[in-house]
Every structure is written in structure tokens, then in C-alpha cells.
Amino acid sequence: MIVSTPDLDGATGHVADMYDSDRKGDGFVFAYTRAMAVNPEAHQAFERLVRAIVPSIGLRTYELATLGAARAMGSEHCLLAHGRRSLRAGLFDEDQLASLARDGVEADLDERDRAVVAYAEKLSTDAASMTDADSGRLREVGFTDREIVDITLAAAARNFFSRALLALAVPVDDVPGLTPALVAALRAPGDAARGSLG
């Protein structure tokens, strides 16, 4: 990453809040936090967007859309961070997370969950080809109009964040609290994506 980021010492305002949150949670500041701290107003706007999305769909569906999108893009930053967040929140166990990272829409999830993952993956890889049939599949498994829009926004928001980190070549930090086996599963989509680009 070639951009200069705000110093860890002497940070103020929202940048200080960003850094303090990482330090309190993990004892260090993640590289992706430092990258986003270059424009703290944009980071605040992103946080407000997420807070506007989650209430209608719930945290589990938000994380499914997030993980599905991150997997499709090969975003190790977001797979690791949201894998751990989902695990800590009790949304999925390690086997389910590994299956989601490895198998995507074929993961060991119920029909409703798989529909969210499939939608997020397609939005992240071929949004231009999407039709009413794609959002219609979400309706078929029981999502309301508001929920369909918010699932779309959740996946699109992850594209914004993940693609920014990938474009800036932000280093991927080790995320504490994950077993080596789960880390390997969560990082595998990123390995595959880099291989396809080479």
C-alpha cells in the first residue's frame, strides 16, 4: 500500500475512535482501518449505511450477504473479519463458516440462506446480467421488498469496501481468535481469485 495513513499516535476525532476500537478489541490497529482512516468522513458514512441496512434483515442475513460478496471478490480482509464477527455472534459455527467459504451457494445452509449467498455472489461478479428473476428468487424464499433492497445494499456495500481495500493493495493482517483450519478456509477464496488473475 503506497498511500500514507494517519499516525497511530496523536490521532483525533473519528480516526482516534477507529484506532481505539481496534486496539481495545485486538491490541493493534488493522491495516484496513488505517487505510480507511485516510478519509474518516467516508468511513463514518459507510458505518451509517450499515446501521440503516441491518435492522430490516437482521445480522445473520447481513453477514451472509457480506460473506457471499467477499467470497466472490476474493476479499481476505472481509472474509476473515466477518468470519470472526459471525463466529463471535454465534451466527454460524466453524464448520458452517468453512463450508460457506469453500462451497458458497453449495454450503451446508438452508434454502433461504443459500439464496442470499447466491444473490450476493452474482451481484459481485456479474451484476449487469441480473434480472427480476434474481431478486424474485429472494421473494420466493420469503423476503419482503424492503429486505430484498437491503440485501442488495448489503452486498453492494461490501463491494465498495472490499474493492477499495483490494485496489489499494492493503496488507491482510492475521485476525486473532480463529483456528488455523478456519483461517485457511477463509483465505482460500482469495488464493483462488489471485490464481485466476495470473
Interval 55-103: pLDDT, tens: 999 999 999 999 999 999 999 999 999 999 999 999 999 998 988 888 7
Question: Cβ of 86: how many Cβ atoms within 10 Å?
Answer: 22
- Please check whether residue 107 lies inside any domain of the structure: yes
Contact 161, 82 (CB under 8 A): no
Contact 155, 117 (CB under 8 A): no
pLDDT of residue 195: 38
Cα dihedral 162, 165, 170, 175 in deg (nearest 10): -30
- Please check whether residue 62 lies inside any domain of the structure: yes
pLDDT of residue 106: 80
- Please check whether residue 28 lies inside any domain of the structure: no
Question: Cβ of 99: how many Cβ atoms within 10 Å?
Answer: 17
Question: Cβ of 128: how many Cβ atoms within 10 Å?
Answer: 4
* DSSP for residue 174: P
The number of distinct structural domains making up the chain is 1
pLDDT of residue 190: 47
- Please check whether residue 87 lies inside any domain of the structure: yes
In SS3 terms, 128-139 reads as HHCCHHHHHHHH
pLDDT of residue 189: 62
Contact 73, 193 (CB under 8 A): yes
- Please check whether residue 21 lies inside any domain of the structure: no
pLDDT of residue 196: 36
Q: How far is CA 31 from CA 5, 28, 37, 112, 150, in A?
A: 9, 9, 10, 34, 28
- Please check whether residue 48 lies inside any domain of the structure: no
Contact 120, 155 (CB under 8 A): yes
Q: How far is CA 65 from CA 71, 114, 144, 150, 164, in A?
A: 10, 10, 16, 10, 18
pTM of the model: 0.90
> Which structural domain range is residue 170 located in?
58-197
- Please check whether residue 52 lies inside any domain of the structure: no
Q: What does pLDDT average to in each consecutive run of 10 residues of the chain (198 residues)?
A: 92 95 93 96 97 97 96 94 93 90 81 95 96 97 98 98 96 91 82 39
What is the Cα–Cα distance from 128 to 150, expressed in whole angstroms? 19
- Three-state SS for 47? helix
* DSSP for residue 152: H
Q: What is the CATH number of the domain that holds 136?
A: 1.20.1290.10
Start-to-end CA span in the chain (Å): 20
What is the Cα–Cα distance from 72 to 20, expressed in whole angstroms? 31
- Please check whether residue 74 lies inside any domain of the structure: yes
